[in-house]
């Protein structure tokens, strides 16, 4: 934990920002794509709860992390004021990220909207280890599409937009046909809950195992407050698991969504 220096901040779209800062821990000691950073918005008591944002890219050599976030509520809007040289209080990287499996040759990354950022570092690591990466991304409109170059640099990229302004018209799940999924060893998904639920169903039909990164509201971020639990099916039982500590990434088959 601690204060770190901001290296750079830039706007990627009208309301999405990329923020690069010194890592609070030594990245060469290890981290996982899919882990998150917990940001204290200001030093005052205006914002008591930290804001969780996923690690999007890690520069191990320079010990820097980039997060990509949408400024939607008061806290994230306040983060947009940060500029190079400012200090910010960040915890992390926290939680359990995406697990990779030796022997996988081709993986599918499925992202929706502001759920795309954590897939970038994962794609980069797969690409580096010569695992073929196929990315299927969904956005509301072309104007909201982000990180396309970063993902197409690591493999093949397919996009769906709800208004048809870019790629296929419709939801990202409409890309996931049987032909499209042929030869995929495993999938990794992050996005809104409605998307994750639909992805879980489609990929179950395709008989492909995978991981889902869940977005629960968080308090402490370190396993103390129990504010972030999600029901998980494990060993024939339903158990509540802390998303901050045992997630945010879970085995897709274990995740229980509301009917």
Ligand X SMILES: Cc1cc2nc3c(=O)[nH]c(=O)nc-3n(C[C@H](O)[C@H](O)[C@H](O)COP(=O)(O)OP(=O)(O)OC[C@H]3O[C@@H](n4cnc5c(N)ncnc54)[C@H](O)[C@@H]3O)c2cc1C
In the bound state with ligand FES, the residue whose beta carbon lies nearer, of 184 and 218, is 218
Size of the site for ligand FES (CB under 6 A): 12
* Nearest distance in Å: CB 45, ligand X: 14
d(CA 139, CA 165): 10
Give just the sign of the alpha carbon dihedral 246, 251, 253, 256.
positive
> Is residue 228 near ligand FES by the rule CB under 6 A?
yes
* Nearest distance in Å: CB 207, ligand X: 28
> Is residue 249 near ligand FES by the rule CB under 6 A?
no
In the bound state with ligand X, the residue whose beta carbon lies nearer, of 73 and 164, is 73
Q: Which x/- pattern, by CB under 6 A, does the window 40-79 give for ligand X?
A: ---------x-xxxx------------xxxx-xxxxx---
Helices (H), the chain: 74-79, 117-128, 148-152, 178-181, 193-205
> Is residue 242 near ligand FES by the rule CB under 6 A?
yes
Q: Using DSSP bridges, classify how beta strands 2-11 and 64-70 pair: parallel, antiparallel or unpaired.
A: unpaired
Q: In degrees to the nearest 10, what's the CA dihedral of 177, 110, 191, 80?
A: -140
* Nearest distance in Å: CB 222, ligand FES: 7
By CB under 6 A, the residues from 205 to 224 that bind ligand FES are 218-221, 223-224
Cα-only R_g, the chain = 18
> Is residue 248 near ligand X by the rule CB under 6 A?
yes
Size of the site for ligand X (CB under 6 A): 22
d(CA 233, CA 182): 27
Q: Using DSSP bridges, classify how beta strands 2-11 and 210-213 pair: parallel, antiparallel or unpaired.
A: unpaired
Residues near ligand FES, by CB under 6 A: 218-221, 223-228, 242, 244
């Amino acid at each position: 934990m601690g204060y770190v220096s901001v290296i750079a901040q830039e706007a990627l779209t009208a309301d999405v920002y990329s923020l690069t800062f010194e890592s609070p821990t030594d990245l060469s000691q290890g981290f996982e794509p899919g882990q998150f950073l917990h940001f204290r918005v200001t030093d005052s008591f205006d914002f008591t709860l930290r804001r969780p944002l996923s690690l999007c890219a890690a520069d191990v050599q320079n010990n820097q992390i980039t997060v990509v976030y949408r400024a939607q509520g008061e806290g994230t809007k306040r983060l947009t004021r940060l500029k190079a040289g400012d200090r910010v209080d960040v915890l992390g990287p926290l939680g359990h990220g995406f697990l990779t499996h030796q022997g996988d040759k081709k993986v599918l990354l499925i992202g929706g909207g502001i759920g795309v950022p954590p897939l970038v570092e994962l794609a980069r690591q797969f690409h580096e280890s010569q695992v073929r990466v196929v990315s299927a991304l969904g956005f509301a409109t072309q104007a909201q599409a982000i990180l396309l170059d970063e993902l197409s640099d690591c493999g093949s990229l397919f996009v769906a937009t709800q208004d048809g302004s870019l790629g296929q018209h419709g939801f990202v799940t409409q890309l996931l046909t049987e032909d499209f999924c042929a030869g995929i060893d495993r999938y990794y998904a992050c996005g809104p809950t409605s998307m994750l639920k639909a992805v879980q169903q489609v990929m179950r039909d395709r008989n492909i195992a995978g991981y889902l990164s869940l977005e629960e509201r968080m308090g402490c971020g370190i396993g103390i407050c129990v504010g972030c639990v999600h029901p998980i099916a494990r060993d024939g039982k339903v158990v509540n698991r802390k998303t901050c500590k045992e997630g945010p990434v879970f085995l897709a088959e274990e995740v229980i969504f509301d009917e």
